[in-house]
A = this chain, B = another copy of it.
Amino acid sequence: MHMHHTDELILDPICACTALRKASRAVTRLYDEALAGSFMSIVQFSVLRHIAREGQPELMRLAEKLVMDRTTLYRALKPLEQRGWVALSDAAGRAKHVALTPAGEAALRAATDAWRGAQARLLGSYGAAEWARMQAGLARLVALSGGLSA
């Protein structure tokens, strides 16, 4: 049997992070395709949806919920603000809040149909029960990672 001279490098098991990132990329592609007609990415959809869910969250609180770096969120909000989908409070010196505008609500509502289609297709194939377990596992990974890194 042929052996590479780097074989000792590949005896370790699959990288958990890499496996997650691969799945994340593959599924992101699927959802982005579904949302293309709604003129937003799944990332933007996710941000809008979290804002809708939270009401008028502080930026930091929103970043935590999204498991995003602060600065990543701040800049992700800019195109949404430019399109008039979200509005930032500029309370001087205090934590800013972000809220959906009516246009943002309309955009989110319209995109939700496309999103629901992608979600149904994927989870219909994957299996709802299996997905429930996966979802719980993913949430646990987030919690664990927070504890292990911070």
Contacts and interface: CB of A to CB of B under 8 A. Distances in A.
A16 interface: yes
A126 to B, nearest CB: 6
Copies of this protein in the complex = 2
A64 B139 CA distance: 27
Chain A interface SS verdict (over half): helix
A52 B10 contact: yes
A18 to B, nearest CB: 4
Interface in A42-90: 42-43, 45-46, 49, 52-53, 55, 66-68
Interface residues of A, number: 68
A17, A67, A108, A133: which has the most chain B beta carbons within 10 Å? A17
A148 B16 contact: no
Contacts of A68: 25
Interface in A110-150: 112, 115-116, 118-119, 121-123, 125-126, 130-131, 133-135, 137-142, 144-149
Contact of A20 (B12, B15, B20, B43): B20
5 contacts: A6-B105, A17-B28, A30-B145, A122-B144, A134-B134
